[in-house]
Structure 1
Amino acid sequence: GELDKITVRDAAIPVVANINGEIVKTGEAIKASLVEQAANPVLWEDCVAQIVNQGAENFVEVGPGKVLCGFTKKIAKDVTNLNVEDLASLQKTLDYFKEVR
């Protein structure tokens, strides 16, 4: 398939796979999880729990809307949810991170 034409390198930052909520680090494992994800439901609650367990306190949703921010807020009430969907929201997100540094 098309994914076979793409080289996926090992992750510098751990990736949480949507198919099982587990951390994957190797390019091979990431590619395999993407293939499996196409035919299986996303386990968003497990993914958020895993990311929080790794120490994340801020989540940034990239793309139109705030659907994932809403889901994340219900799962992990103490994290900060930000979204980037246009230039204004990008600037707001960048300003937030400048303040918390």
Structure 2
Amino acid sequence: MSQVSKKSGGRPPSDLWNTHIKKGKEISKGNYKEICNYCPYSKYKGSPQDFEEHLANNCLNVPSNIRQTYLNKVLIDLKTLKNQLKKFIKQKYLILM
């Protein structure tokens, strides 16, 4: 009889893990203290977006090509958010008319 592996479920981990972020102490099941690979910055239960912004804007030791990658990603995320907000406001305005 073959072993059936249990799937962990949930969202797959960000590509930041093990490339730009180290897992520190486990805070709760599946949640770890996150530590930047390039500087002493750390955060408890932060989001991948927090670390993307850190690498793009705040980390002094991150290589320039990685900084540029995350600057572009943060910019794209901001543009997407701006477009979503415009659509939301437009829909609310149409409902009120």
- Which TM bucket (shorter chain)? under 0.3
- The normalised TM-score by structure 2 is 0.26
- The normalised TM-score by structure 1 is 0.25
